[in-house]
């Protein structure tokens, strides 16, 4: 009798909706993290094996729980039978540790980066990043969460017990063929899953619960909401806590973006709440809207028959159970100290344009480029002086919205088409969705890490676009020893080089040099000359023979030239 009653209760509570209990990734923590990338099989559909890739398992990867300030040794062993990389998305690490396309891990080898966790408490993630293979390796299953903890976050009354009142949710859509194998690339991504679980259900306690939501999809943007338009609270964006919690009924999440949200299930024991995407509300020109291009003339192969496009659908369900012993029962208002970078401190504005290769109505099927060039592993698109504070102004001249992502830094949005960002976008960010015909400006500082050898990436996080060349790379260089911005560099020359004493600076008419600093090979400052006049000679006679660096401070930024003293 009792069994029958329970069975009936379950049927009623789930509304006869097939459900699978949500997979909760295992965790790794401490200062020594070992990952093994492997091939596997996984039953997304019970009874049918799908070929997959995973880290330390058949699909996805363990959640890494790290503490700010810890020095962590990683080991990433590649057993997938092909070259790949692992990138720590959102984390501020040196280019050598970043795991971009240049830092390849050959089959049967191990990559051992180690670095100090410098980021604020937040939800980051890791995934492969081999050029032209990112979509395949991610879609087949390699992706994991990184949770960073710090003292500021720990002092707040927030749910933070993993798997009890704090859950990671990686939301993905994939395309399966008739034999239930994953198809990459595809615009027929009609299967929605959370943590690799289709029709996922989670038992949640009747209290405030935290969800770390990651859009891990290749292409699709979600318009997150709860059924009945129940309010939820965003507490964090990509790079950690917001300054105060934001009450929302919708939250747009593009590929690569994260948001920590709180849902208050207090007093709801026995009820079911659905996490949904209200994609019918998307304006056209967002992948997930009724029309993928900004106008009806733009078509994308495979897109229109896909039932997820332009409709509201369930992502997963929460079945509310009893409270835990020590529940969080209220939503904190004030969260972390967020210190945006002031626009007045920027050294330079860089202008980037995202555009289709073929601008016609068929453009959505094709390739997209940034500043008219496709990614080339051998071309450095920007050289950024270490310590620069920069504004990047990015415009989208294509018919579809692109999520722009940059490595190394977290940024602050200044404006979207001149309008200050909503609270959701006022915190630290590393991905931003840029709609057709929109211009967004962000500000960031390139601090701490430089390399003359390994660049960082910026790209569209729609993995098909990225793989097809919608990516660029930049080096951050220590200007005391390296070469600064090449556009500015081309406008300034010094002569003669080599020199036996005096040198002269020649500039194009729009560049004015105010100050000159001379460095030796070790980056030691030897001499500073202020109020430099036009055609003024700089005397290097007193310096030893060999390479020196002339750092010039101009109205257009800093430029450094190498000179050989030969007397």
Q: Is 129 in the site for ligand C2O (CB under 6 A)?
A: yes
Any idea which residue has 């930049």 for tokens?
A: 474
Cβ–Cβ < 8 Å for 142, 37: yes
Task: Tell me the C-alpha distance between 122 and 46, whole Å.
Answer: 34
- With beta carbons less than 8 A apart as the criterion, state whether 499 and 565 touch: yes
459 binds, among ligand C2O, Cu ion, none (CB under 5 to 8 A by kind): ligand C2O
Nearer to ligand C2O, 111 or 233 (CB): 111
Map residue 70 onto helix, strand or coil.
coil
Please identify, using beta-carbon distances, which residue of 257 and 390 lies nearer to ligand C2O.
Answer: 257
Alpha carbon separation from 130 to 33, 137, 328, 436 (Å, rounded) = 21, 9, 42, 28
**Binding to Cu ion by residue 459, rule CB under 5 A?**
no
Omega cis (within 30) before 498? yes
Asked if 441 interacts with ligand C2O (CB under 6 A), we say no
457 binds ligand C2O (CB under 6 A): yes
Q: For ligand C2O, give the closer residue by CB, 354 or 399.
A: 354
CB distance 363 to 301 below 8 Å: no
Asked if 402 is part of the footprint of Cu ion (rule: CB under 5 A), the reply reads yes
Restricted to residues 542-561, the positions that interact with ligand C2O (CB under 6 A) are: none
Site for ligand C2O contains 137 (CB under 6 A): no
Least Å distance, CB 129 to ligand C2O, is: 6
Q: Does 140 bind Cu ion (CB under 5 A)?
A: no
Q: Is 285 exposed, middle or buried (0-12, 13-18, 19+ CB in 10 A)?
A: buried
Contact call for residue 407 and ligand C2O (CB under 6 A)? yes
Residue with nearest beta carbon to ligand C2O: 89
Instruction: Give the CA radius of gyration of the chain.
Output: 26
The three-state DSSP-derived secondary structure of 158-189 is CCCCECCCEEEEEEEEECECCCCCECCCCCCC
Task: Dig out the tokens for 119 from the structure.
Answer: 């980021």
> With CB cut-offs between 5 and 8 Å by kind, which of Cu ion, ligand C2O, none does residue 89 bind?
ligand C2O
Tell me whether residue 173 or residue 499 sits nearer to ligand C2O (CB atom). 173
CB 217 within 8 A of CB 127: no
Segment near Cu ion (CB under 5 A); pick from 50-58, 238-246, 308-316, 464-472: 464-472
- Between 316 and 457, whose beta carbon lies closer to ligand C2O? 457
**In the set 256, 285, 293, 327, which binds ligand C2O (CB under 6 A)?**
256
Give which of 495, 515, 514 is closest to 505, Cα–Cα.
495
> How many residues belong to the site for Cu ion (CB under 5 A)?
4
Going from the C-alpha of 458 to that of each of 132, 301, 443, the distances in angstroms are 15, 27, 14
Q: Which is nearer to ligand C2O, 459 or 475 (CB)?
A: 459
Rule CB under 5 A: say whether 465 interacts with Cu ion. Answer: yes
> What is the binding site for ligand C2O (CB under 6 A)?
87, 89, 127, 129, 256, 405, 407, 457, 459, 461
């Amino acid at each position: 009798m009792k069994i029958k009653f329970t069975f009936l209760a379950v049927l009623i509570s789930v509304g006869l909706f097939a459900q699978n209990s949500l997979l909760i990734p295992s965790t790794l923590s401490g200062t020594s993290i070992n990952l093994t990338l492997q091939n596997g099989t996984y039953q997304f559909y019970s009874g049918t094996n799908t070929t997959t890739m995973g880290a330390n398992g058949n699909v996805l990867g363990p959640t890494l729980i790290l503490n700010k300030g810890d020095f962590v040794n990683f080991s990433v062993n590649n057993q997938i039978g092909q070259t790949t990389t692992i990138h720590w998305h959102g984390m501020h690490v040196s280019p050598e540790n970043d795991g971009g396309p240049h830092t390849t891990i050959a089959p049967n080898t191990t990559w051992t980066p180690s670095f100090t966790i410098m980021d604020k408490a937040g939800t980051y993630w890791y995934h492969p990043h081999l050029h032209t293979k990112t979509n395949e390796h991610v879609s087949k299953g390699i992706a994991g969460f990184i949770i960073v903890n710090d003292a500021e976050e720990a002092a707040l009354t927030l749910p933070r017990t993993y798997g009890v009142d704090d859950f990671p949710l990686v939301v993905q859509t994939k395309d399966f063929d008739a034999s239930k194998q994953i198809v990459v690339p595809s615009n027929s991504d009609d299967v929605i899953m959370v943590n690799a679980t289709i029709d996922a259900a989670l038992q949640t306690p009747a209290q405030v619960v935290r969800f770390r939501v990651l859009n891990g999809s290749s292409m699709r943007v979600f318009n997150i909401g709860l059924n009945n338009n129940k309010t939820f609270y965003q507490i964090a964006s990509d790079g950690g806590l917001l300054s105060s919690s934001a009450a929302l009924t919708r939250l747009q999440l593009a590929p690569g973006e994260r948001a920590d949200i709180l849902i208050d299930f207090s007093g709801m024991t026995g009820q079911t709440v659905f996490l949904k995407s209200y994609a019918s509300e998307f304006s056209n020109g967002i992948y997930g809207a009724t029309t993928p291009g900004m106008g009806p003339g733009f078509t994308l192969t495979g897109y229109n028959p896909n039932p997820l496009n332009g409709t509201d659908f369930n992502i997963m369900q929460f079945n509310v159970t009893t409270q835990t012993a020590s529940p969080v029962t209220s939503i904190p208002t004030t969260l972390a100290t967020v210190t945006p970078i002031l626009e007045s401190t920027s050294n330079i504005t860089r202008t980037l344009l995202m555009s289709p290769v073929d601008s016609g109505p068929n453009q959505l099927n094709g390739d997209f480029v940034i500043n008219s060039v496709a990614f080339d592993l051998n071309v450095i698109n920007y050289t950024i002086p270490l310590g620069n504070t920069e504004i990047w102004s990015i415009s989208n001249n294509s018919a579809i919205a692109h999520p722009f992502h940059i490595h190394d830094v977290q940024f602050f949005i200044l404006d979207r088409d001149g309008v200050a960002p909503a609270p959701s976008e006022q915190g630290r960010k590393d991905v931003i969705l840029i709609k057709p015909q929109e211009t967004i400006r962000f500000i960031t500082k390139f601090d701490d890490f430089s390399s003359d050898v390994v660049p960082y990436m910026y790209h569209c996080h729609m993995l098909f676009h990225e793989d097809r060349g919608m990516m660029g790379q930049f080096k951050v260089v220590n200007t005391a020893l390296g070469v600064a911005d090449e556009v500015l560099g081309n406008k300034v020359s010094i002569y003669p080089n080599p020199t036996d004493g005096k040198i002269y600076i020649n500039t194009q008419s729009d560049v004015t040099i105010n100050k000159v600093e001379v460095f030796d090979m070790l980056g030691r400052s030897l001499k500073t000359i202020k109020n430099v006049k036009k055609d003024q000679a700089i005397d290097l006679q007193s310096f030893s023979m060999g390479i020196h660096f002339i750092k010039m401070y101009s109205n257009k930024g800093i430029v450094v030239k190498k000179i050989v003293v030969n007397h």
